[in-house]
Amino acid sequence: MPLEKEIKQDILEYLNSLPQCYARGKHSSPFSKGWPDVQGCLNGRTLAFEVKQPKSASDPRPKQDATPLQQREQVRWFKAGAIVGVVTSLEDVKAIILSVSGGDAPTGRG
């Protein structure tokens, strides 16, 4: 089962391979509590993903829920127009992007 940091790295590599995307991972500090693990911009839309480790290889649900602070931050980003989600894999990110792009999936590596 992949670690959260490995999932985050896969997501960042994929997003940064897309021609109209730039994304960065959050580094933990007391000043970044609650901030999404992955933030970026794709075709002018802000991205804000909270990355969680899956329960198991056969159960993709998050091992831990987003904290109340993380949930509030996700809601704030969403209300501001961002593409948001709590994800456990690169496939989750691709599915979210596909769902908001009207079925026109961006292509890149991965």
CA separation for the pair 2, 18 (Å, rounded): 23
Query: Residue 32 belongs to what domain range?
Result: 4-100
Whether residue 89 is contained in a domain is answered as yes
pLDDT in tens, 76-93: 999 999 999 999 999 999
Whether residue 105 is contained in a domain is answered as no
Gyration radius of the chain's alpha carbons = 13
* CATH number (domain holding residue 27): 3.40.1350.10
pTM for the model:
0.89
Whether residue 107 is contained in a domain is answered as no
CA separation for the pair 105, 88 (Å, rounded): 19
pLDDT of residue 45: 95
CA separation for the pair 78, 105 (Å, rounded): 20
pLDDT in tens, 48-72: 999 999 988 888 888 889 999 999 9
Whether residue 63 is contained in a domain is answered as yes
Whether residue 49 is contained in a domain is answered as yes
Whether residue 59 is contained in a domain is answered as yes
Q: How many domains does the chain have?
A: 1
